[in-house]
Amino acid sequence: MQITSPGFKQNARTALDDAPLQRALGNVRKGFIEKRAKAATALPEFDVLRDNARDIKDHVLAHLDLYLEAYAEKVEAAGGHVHWAETADDARRIILQICRDKNARTVTKGKSMITEEIGLNDFLEEHAVAPVETDLGEYIIQLRGEHPSHIIAPAVHVNKDQVEADFRRVHTHLDPARNLEEPTTLLSEARGVLREKYFEADVGITGANFLIAETGTSVIVTNEGNGDLTQNLPKTHVVVASIEKIVPTLDDVSQILRVLARSATGQDMSVYTTFSTGPKRDIDPDGPEDYHVVLLDNGRSSMLGTEFQDMLRCIRCGACMNHCPVYHAVGGHAYGWVYPGPMGAVLTPSLMGVDQSGHLPNASTFCGRCESVCPMRIPLPKMMRHWREREFSRNLTPATARYGLGAWVFFAKRPALYQAATRVAMAVLGRLGRGKGRFSAMPLAGGWTKYRDLPAPEGGTFQAQWAKRRHAA
Amino acid sequence: MSDARRAILAKMRSAMGRKADDIDRKAAVADRLQRSPRGPIPARGQVDGAERTALFRKMAEAVQASVVRVGSREGVPEAVAAYLKSKNLPATVRMGEDPRLSEMPWSAQKHMETLTGRAENADLATVSHALGGVAETGTLMLVSGPDNPTTLNFLPEHHIVVLEEADIAGDYESVWARIRERFGKGVMPRTVNMITGPSRSADIEQTLLLGAHGPRALHIVIVERT
């Protein structure tokens, strides 16, 4: 996928002016937060489970090499094949080769962010293999020629009337006069169209939420059941997963499942949690004859042992973006690559380089909501700050920001001068803003006041008020 | 691609400052895989008997499954026939070779037709026997094989699942223990399905709709402990 993260500022501006997008983003602000809070509150052990989920993944990351070896051994013992891919390009070639070995013309796909990361669909199309997305949201955006704007709700930026228009444009074999007013009619239409595709496909490709070392099992978590039809009806099942998806045992995965759906959609459990181990056995009347796992590194091993290692605990629930005021304002596409929101702001620089995506860790108010809801307790704001530090130390920060920070440092190192200067500045601003109580424009801060007013200060500096209260107490 | 495997593992080990032949680490990993220690288990599911069944039922109904209880295995065909009738469905079901199902008195139900084998696209209703249930979240657990082919769980419009009351556990971990006992430690059937309610999607404007790609309805028949 082409990265447009360097153009984040322009992307964000465009998104803020995009009326249909802003309407669609209202659904993120409304639903996800309340549902997660309700599910978390209903389970008294929720925070204890989060702690344990974090500990499980920390343990795995400390021994990732050994767990991967144990996992691969089990997959092979069950009759499956394991392919190791250092880069996105390696993974694409491996998958294409599997498709070619099977003379595959169409492949159905379950929802997989990793296949987005490696740009699999475009690559397969270029090589005469037609990929068909089967998750409803993924199907909608495939028809629109778009990428997901959210890691669990890929079409969250699309409104119902747009879906209807797309279905009418593409499903030309159906009656043009049909009524698609109700969302259920759209769902039924997609169900009918895709049902045929499952049976036509030669290969089914899914991602994996987890890989279990104890048994050599891949796990997918879905609500629709599309991933299951994708992996059960074609003759070949290919799993594409990144190396950090490993968990040790069935007991460990049960622990993390308890925090995954609650954090993601506010469900206690997603509808289908499916454990797949090897190809069908001789006596099985259904299931794939071949089972392949492609293990993708693509820069993750370089995150081990660094201040970004904790990011590898991420289970892709989407809670961080669901609670992010920046994501709420601009949506996922503005971030310019596969992973949006706070997790994307940390992961994208790790995988694509901070010179390409330095804007993303800056696109944060540091309000801390992402960390407070992360089921794996990933310190997202801290890691965004690490990226800002690296960006600064590599001189990638724009000159005006550097001068601004330089000026601040000068004052911050001289507390008496700092206090005097802020006192004067506040008094002046307070007097100037007495009439309206706010400023709609400020010299040197035009970028900030363009989208909101600066309230006029009242009642002395923070330090002055702090000192006063301490005396009073 | 064994070169890639070597390269990836080597990169990890150098990043972590670890060696491949570190005996302590190997022992720690082997121990965890062998012991599979349990984490904290929510108290919610840790109830017994009728209370556990009631919790299972409550949780399954909360995710839009329908649940009925029958006194014995012999009562299942009648319950299935009644369900089909209530949904205006033809009296035809497909099921696998599970003897617990095939030994039920299906022929006692007038006009009832039973088909066997893997599901076909035209199947409106299928019957599976669950390996177990989990009261904590109203989750069913099914394993693949000729007894209960996996396609029966996903292709029909209506999926009917028979669950023995005695097979309802409080938590997922207890069912994994059962699976380890049956298939062997570290061994799994091709597919284990955890199913919690009928298929759904909220991909259009975050509005929840049932029946996305899998069954539009999930009907659970609990067979009382005898």
Set of chain B residues whose Cβ sits within 8 Å of the Cβ of A69: 9
CA distance A60 to A21: 39
Which residue among B4, B18, B204 sits closest to A186, beta carbon to beta carbon?
A: B204
Q: Residue A269: what residue type?
A: M
- List CB contacts (< 8 A) between A85 and chain B: 1, 4
Interface test with B, best of A32, A55, A65 (most B CBs within 10 A): A65
Tell me how far apart the alpha carbons of residues B80 and B197 are, in angstroms, rounded to a whole number: 18
Q: According to the model, what pLDDT value does residue A431 have?
A: 84
Provide the pLDDT for residue B207. Answer: 87
CB contact under 8 A, B9 and A65: yes
Cα–Cα–Cα angle for B165, B63, B142, rounded to 5 degrees: 45
Percent of chain A past pLDDT 70, that is, above it, reads: 100
Q: Delineate the domains of chain A, giving CATH numbers in brackets.
A: 1-42+318-397 (no CATH), 67-301 (3.40.50.10420), 410-472 (no CATH)
With bands split at pLDDT 50, 70 and 90, how would you rate the model's confidence at A450?
confident
Which of A389-403, A444-458, B66-80 tops mean pLDDT?
Answer: B66-80
Q: Which residues of A touch B188 (CB under 8 A)?
A: 78, 215-217, 275, 277
User: Are B89 and B156 a contacting pair, CB within 8 Å?
Assistant: no
Q: What is the pLDDT of residues B55-69, one digit of tens each?
A: 999 999 999 999 999
Please provide the DSSP assignment of B137-174 as one string: TTEEEEE-SSSS-GGGGTSSSEEEEEEEGGGEESSHHH
How confident is the model at residue A463, as a pLDDT?
84
- Kind of pairing between the strands at B217-223 and B66-70: parallel
Write down the pLDDT at residue A144.
97
Given CB atoms, is B24 within the 8 Å cutoff of chain A? no
Residues A158-174 have pLDDT tens digits of 999 999 999 999 999 99
Q: How far is CA A407 from CA A392, A394, A446, A461, B24, in A?
A: 15, 19, 18, 19, 52
Q: Shortest CA distance to A12 belongs to which of A328, A395, A396?
A: A328
Euclidean distance between CA atoms A378 and A320, whole angstroms: 10
> Which site among A232, A260, A293, A294 would you substitute to test the B interface, given the most B Cβ atoms closer than 10 Å to its Cβ?
A232
* A388-408 average pLDDT score: 86
Q: Which of A168-172, A404-408, B52-56, B179-183 is predicted with the least confidence, judged by mean pLDDT?
A: A404-408
The fraction of chain A above a pLDDT of 90, given in percent, is 82
CB contact under 8 A, A273 and B149: no
Nearest-angstrom CA–CA distance, B155 and B16:
46
Taking only Cα atoms into account, the Rg of chain B, rounded to an integer number of angstroms, comes to: 21
User: Which domains, and CATH codes, for chain B?
Assistant: 1-35 (no CATH), 47-223 (3.40.50.10420)
Q: Quote the pLDDT of residue B21.
A: 77
Q: What is the model's pLDDT at position B225?
A: 83
The one-character DSSP state at A225 is S
Handedness of CA A74, A75, A80, A81 (dihedral sign): negative
Q: Are B205 and A63 inside 8 Å of each other by CB?
A: no
pLDDT digits (tens, 9 = 90+) for A73-126: 999 999 999 999 999 999 999 999 999 999 999 999 999 999 999 999 999 999
Order of strands, sheet of A81-85, starting from the edge strand that comes earlier in the sequence: A81-85, A290-296, A236-242, A203-206, A106-109, A130-133
- Measured between CA atoms, the residue of chain B closest to residue A53 is B39
**Given B8, B121, B197, which is nearest A243 (Cβ)?**
B8
Contact B1, A94 (CB under 8 A): yes
Environment class of residue A76 by beta-carbon count within 10 Å: exposed (0-12), middle (13-18) or buried (19+)?
middle
Closest listed residue to residue B15, CA positions, set A57, A65, A242, A384: A65
Question: Do you know the residue count of chain A?
Answer: 473
**Cα separation, A181 vs B96, whole angstroms:** 39
What does pLDDT average to over chain A? 94
The interface pTM score, or ipTM, of the predicted complex is 0.98
Q: What is the pTM of this model?
A: 0.94
